[in-house]
Structure 1
Amino acid sequence: MTGKLLSVILILSGLLAGAAMYYLQVYGFYQSVDARPGQDVVLLPLGRETPQAIQYSAFEAIDADSSPIRYRACFETTLRADELAQLYTLSETQDPRNAPGWFDCFDAAALGAALKDGSATAFMGQKNIEFGVDRIVAITNDGRGFVWHELNNCGKKAYDGTVVGEVCPERPETH
């Protein structure tokens, strides 16, 4: 009888731990981001270091304090991607990060396909928004826009343990 009881306790605690882990990964740490006009959607002008805000509407975003790469946003714009490409820095990133399934406006697979077939263009939004993390902004030909954070070369090196080198900004001290 004791063996059966211990087995049931182990199975139930495993199921409970699995359910808690799933909830925390998919729902628990995310919060909605309030729109900050003039700050939410920015692009990096060619040859410049300071990003510029662009015109947008219908802004939705989520973020989590647990990781700098959990930010996702969707918006609409009347600006055309081909015109923006003449003024702003393009991004080589063609694979957007997945968003939680409940954040309906951000479909990473569809956006990735649009980036690959040319019906969307990815721009550098802001370099090192946090150490080793860049903000990427993609705009489709029909005026839908998407934002996510991506590790840059410094971030990839810093998080895999490789020596960062002199070309990266100074890493902030954590306490």
Structure 2
Amino acid sequence: MGKVVIIAILVAALLGGIGIWYTNNRAFYAAIDGPVTLTLTQGDDLSTLPARDVDAIASTSSPLGFRACFQHDLTTPEDLADAYASPEPTVAPGWFDCFDASALAALLTSGEARAFTAYKNVQFGVDRVVALTPDGRGWAWHQLNECGKKSYDGTPVGEACPDRATYTPLTEGSL
């Protein structure tokens, strides 16, 4: 009888572990079907980023779960827009192998890649950031902007942030 109980506990633990792994790595992520909005902000204007071979995922549980990898034909991305102040690539699920946050952070730190604002407030308090290298590689992700950081830590957001009650988020492919 003791062996049956131990086996049942081990099987339950194994199934629970598999369920937790699946939930964290697969359940809330899906490939983006259709066009992905890849732009660069230049002042108050947006310009479409000429991207090809786009591979993108998004999380259904958080606006920060967006990641994309692509190729571009820009020769001097540093002339296109102001650099993003503090790019922080976020870790993607292991199966989305084109997006390696630590390798991308190293490229940004060394200056081999530059990060730009792709779309401010793609969701309330969340910016889309694009990193580009001169050799034609590109990545995109979402990260909290100052409005998002203030909003989620309880600090008053101030007038520089959009009105959350009337804010309309970006719909992929709508630009």
What is the TM-score when the length of structure 1 is the normalising length?
0.84
* Deviation at residue 156 of structure 1 after TM alignment: 1.2
Q: 1:52 aligns with which of 47, 53, 61?
A: 47
Which residue in 1 is equivalent to 2:21?
A: 22
Which residue in 1 is equivalent to 2:173?
A: none
In the alignment, structure 1 residue 147 sits paired with structure 2 residue 147: no
The answer for unaligned runs of 5 or more in structure 1 is: none
Q: Distance in 2 between matches of 1:158 and 1:34?
A: 30
* Deviation at residue 11 of structure 1 after TM alignment: 5.2
Q: What's the % identity of the aligned pairs?
A: 44
Q: Distance in 2 between matches of 1:76 and 1:22?
A: 31
Report if the CA contact (8 A) 2:74-2:134 is conserved.
no
Q: Distance in 2 between matches of 1:136 and 1:13?
A: 41
Q: What amino acid is the match of 1:29? A: F
Q: Distance in 2 between matches of 1:170 and 1:98?
A: 30
Report if the CA contact (8 A) 1:154-1:168 is conserved.
yes
- Larger mean Cα displacement after TM superposition, 89-98 or 158-167: 158-167
Instruction: Give the count of matched residue pairs.
Output: 166
What secondary structure sits across from 1:154 in the alignment? helix
Q: What amino acid is the match of 2:128? A: R
Which residue in 2 is equivalent to 1:167?
A: 160
In the alignment, structure 1 residue 100 sits paired with structure 2 residue 93: yes
Residues 172/8 of structure 1: CA separation in 2 closer, same or farther (3 Å cut): farther
Q: What amino acid is the match of 1:127? A: K
What secondary structure sits across from 1:85 in the alignment? helix
Q: What amino acid is the match of 2:24? A: Q
* Deviation at residue 41 of structure 1 after TM alignment: 1.5
Residues 8/171 of structure 1: CA separation in 2 closer, same or farther (3 Å cut): farther
**CA-atom RMSD in angstroms:** 2.1
In the alignment, structure 1 residue 74 sits paired with structure 2 residue 69: yes
Q: State the Cα deviation string for residues 9-28 of structure 1 (Å, max 9, x = none).
A: 55544443332121111011
Report if the CA contact (8 A) 1:42-1:52 is conserved.
yes
* Structure 2 counterparts to residues 122-161 of structure 1, below 5 A: 122-161=115-154
Q: What amino acid is the match of 2:144? A: L
* Deviation at residue 167 of structure 1 after TM alignment: 2.0
What secondary structure sits across from 1:69 in the alignment? helix
Q: What amino acid is the match of 1:44? A: T
Which ranges of 4 or more aligned residues in structure 1 deviate by more than 6 Å?
Answer: none
What secondary structure sits across from 1:20 in the alignment? helix
